[in-house]
A and B are shown apart, each in its own frame.
Chain A
Amino acid sequence: MAGELSHILVPTDGSEQALDAARVAGHLARALDAKVTVVMVHPEDVVPALAWEAVMEVDEMRARVESDAREKALPDTVEALGKLSHEPECFQLWGHPAEQVCQFAEESDVSLIVMGSHGRSGFKRLILGSVSNAVVNHAPCAVTIVR
């Protein structure tokens, strides 16, 4: 069993909660000597609206969303992980966040997903955020919820 905890997935949206989760993931990864992968999923459906608002082509908007993530959310998350013996890998995916996270975990032999209880969404009254809730329910592996 010990050998199985070798790949930790940290889904991020760059929120404070996601960074807290990354700190816990880093702590676990150091103890387990596990590899860490950071993924950021961009929901496809907001792009046309964002592009419309910014008077931009949809493709241009997608590229901007990705470059913004490369500049801020992803490096912030990597920094929160702290020093690791294996350089963390970062990926950006498009689609339904929970679905993409679970699919990625399945395809990449992830042994543990570490994520915040809430993301960016302002629905503080929700006890568990919708993405975290869906991931906990559908993940192919163990999930650690950090609050």
Chain B
Amino acid sequence: MSKIKSILVATDGSEGAIKAAEMAGDLARALDASVHVVMVQSEDMIMPHAWGVGDYPAAAPYGTMPIEEVREMLEKRVRNNELPETASAVGKLDKEPEQVVIWGHPAKEICSFAEENDIDLIVIGSHGRSKIARALLGSVSNAVANQAPCPVTIVR
């Protein structure tokens, strides 16, 4: 077994993700590991925002926005909110956590990022933003636990 030197925290800015980040920080400090904070944005969010039905004021009601602009706007929002919030929950590390935004299918992108970046451990909350609280395990966490190339810690 190789040592755990690189930890990925998957975030969507939810309370579950923040708890996962706190635990990832504890593990990283104990293991002297580096941390990547990764947020995957679903492409599905782009069109509703472009058509002005998103929750961002810039895409005003009935307004339309070019898709590239929506993408940039959403990415900027993640870089200003979810990513720094999660990184600060990780806490103090020798090396600041790297903050990454990826577009695509959340579980798939988390697993391929882990594979490509030699991640040794993925830490993820048991539930994300989705309101389906009756689900025992959120769909993204479930898919990551099933398909990850490395150990996965599910935090609840």
Contact = CB atoms under 8 A, between A and B. Distances in A.
A32 B33 CA distance: 13
Contacts of B137: 136-137
Contacts of A83: none
Contacts of A1: 22-23, 25-26
Interface in A83-123: 112
Nearest to A116: B151
Interface bin, chain B? 20 to 34
A11 B39 CA distance: 32
B31 to A, nearest CB: 5
Given A32-B30, A146-B151, A139 B4 contact: no
A145 interface: yes
Contacts of B148: 147
A35 interface: no
B30 A142 contact: no
Contacts of B147: 127
Interface of B: 1, 3-4, 22-23, 25-27, 29-32, 121, 136-137, 145-148, 150-156
Interface of A: 1-2, 4-5, 20, 23-24, 27-28, 31-32, 112, 127-128, 136-147
